[in-house]
Amino acid sequence: MFKQLYLTYKAISPSLKLTIYMIVFLIISGIISLPLYLSEINMLKSIQSAINKVEDDVTKGKQLQARCSLPTENEKEVWNEMENEFSRSIPPEKKLLSLVKDIAKIAHDCSIYDISFSMPDANSTGNHSTISLSGTDTMAGPIPGAGAIPPTQGSETGVKTPHQLLITTSFHCRYRDLDRFLKGISDLPRVVKVDTLKIDRKLPLMSVKMTLNAFYAKEREDA
């Protein structure tokens, strides 16, 4: 059998033998190099995966940039106006003097001339300091007493939390004047709400005692 194969091999032309040698060489080279090629293929796959991830991150970044673009000049103006409106509605300080003057002016415009204000004394719980305004009298100097209800516990330091400031007013007026007075309070730029209202019906004028709740947004400090 081997002799027959040998005779067959000798009968093959030299050019055909060279071709067979080359084919065998290529097959052996491919088998030997296959692990190297597989390693390079895996490396190319990992590189492609990294490129795809970077492309996804870039796409997400562009989408985020489009959603979070810098505000326009018009948007800045609107935001500034909102901040100013908030400062007018809930000022950063108590500003008792200006608030009492505003309420007294409303009362005077509504023909209420004997209005008085009382506020809890900051140095003594339960005590009140009373200020009376009549006619067109004006006030000068600091207003005694400033009792504020502390903000909700647990708020973080530096967060602006609305504080409440109670102001009690007493006066005599007619029904229609009281209606005008309440409307004037609701129209104040600052947030002031009527907390309690007590009316004692008398003639010719009724006696009114009202507790107002004003707000301010002073930053909370650590205890």
- Where along the chain do its domains lie? 2-67, 91-216
> Residue 160: its pLDDT value, please?
56
Does domain 91-216 fall under CATH 3.40.50.300? My reply is no
Q: Which residues, in sequence order, are bridge partners of residue 206?
A: 173
* Sign of the CA dihedral running 102, 133, 184, 200: positive
The tokens describing 165, both together, are: 């400031």
pLDDT of 211 reads 94
**What pLDDT score does 126 carry?**
44
CA 92, 97, 99, 101: dihedral to nearest 10 degrees?
-160
Closest Cα partner for 197 from 211, 214, 183, 177? 211
Burial of 169 (0-12, 13-18, 19+ CB in 10 A): buried
- Residues in contact with 3: Cβ distance below 8 Å, sequence separation at least 6, in sequence order: none
Query: Is the CB of residue 143 less than 8 Å from the CB of residue 102?
Result: no
Per-residue pLDDT of the chain (223 residues; tens, 9 = 90+): 666 666 666 666 677 777 877 888 788 877 787 777 777 788 888 888 888 888 888 888 888 777 776 778 888 888 788 777 766 677 777 888 888 999 999 999 999 999 999 976 544 444 444 444 443 333 333 333 333 334 444 444 444 567 888 999 999 999 999 999 999 999 998 889 899 999 998 888 999 999 999 888 765 444 3
